[in-house]
Amino acid sequence: MPIRFTSQNIDFELPQTEKVKKWITQVVLQRGKRVGNISYLFCDDEYLLGVNQRFLNHDTYTDIITFDYVVADLISGDIMISVDRVGENAEKFGVPHVQELHRVIIHGVLHLLGQGDKSDSEATEMRRQEEEALTLWNAMFPVEQIC
């Protein structure tokens, strides 16, 4: 599959990578698009801050930066995620770490699919689409009942 996960400056491995790849692919296909090359880089706050300063002229911490290489219906890009920020946000919002991680992972894909989040209305729509994608995850991979 053309979806890759790596890390930089941290010891991190994404849990259930094959399931995450299937989920991302399904989100893309549901929108009538094709999966191209999507690379995820998991890093710490300082690494992502440096990228934010160097390439976007922003001097702020962020949980995700997405570089869009989409051509027509072929969805491609580089997505960088701060594992530090994801952990803090999970705590702040009172959600499990893996749920917040999945939200941020799909947030980047939604950007590649054309969803913005700069205006209030765009941000509201982004949250709706994130929730829709998280619901799809739960439908694709339901938690097994322990009896």
Whether residue 111 has pLDDT greater than 80: yes
pLDDT at 144: 62
pLDDT of 147: 52
pLDDT in tens, 18-71: 999 999 999 999 999 999 999 999 999 999 999 999 999 899 999 999 999 999
State mean pLDDT over 3-24: 96
pLDDT in tens, 116-145: 999 999 999 999 999 999 999 999 999 765
Q: Which residue has the higher pLDDT, 5 or 142?
A: 5
Residue 90 near residue 99, CB atoms below 8 Å: yes
Nearest to 79 by CA among 53, 54, 103, 106: 106
Q: Does the predicted TM-score (pTM) go above 0.85? A: yes
User: CA of 101: how far to CAs of 72, 90, 92, 108, 121, in Å?
Assistant: 28, 8, 13, 11, 23
The pLDDT value recorded for residue 143 is 79
Whether the predicted pLDDT of 96 surpasses 60: yes
Amino acid 146: pLDDT: 53
Greater confidence (86 vs 144) lies with 86
φ, ψ dihedrals at 145, nearest 5°: -75, 135
Q: What is the reported pLDDT for 13?
A: 92
Question: Is residue 9's pLDDT more than 90?
Answer: no
In the numeric block, the tokens 């893996």 are attached to 98
C-beta of residue 92 within 8 angstroms of C-beta of residue 111: no
- Report the length, in residues, of the chain: 147
What are the structural domains, with CATH classification, of the chain?
3-140 (3.40.390.30)
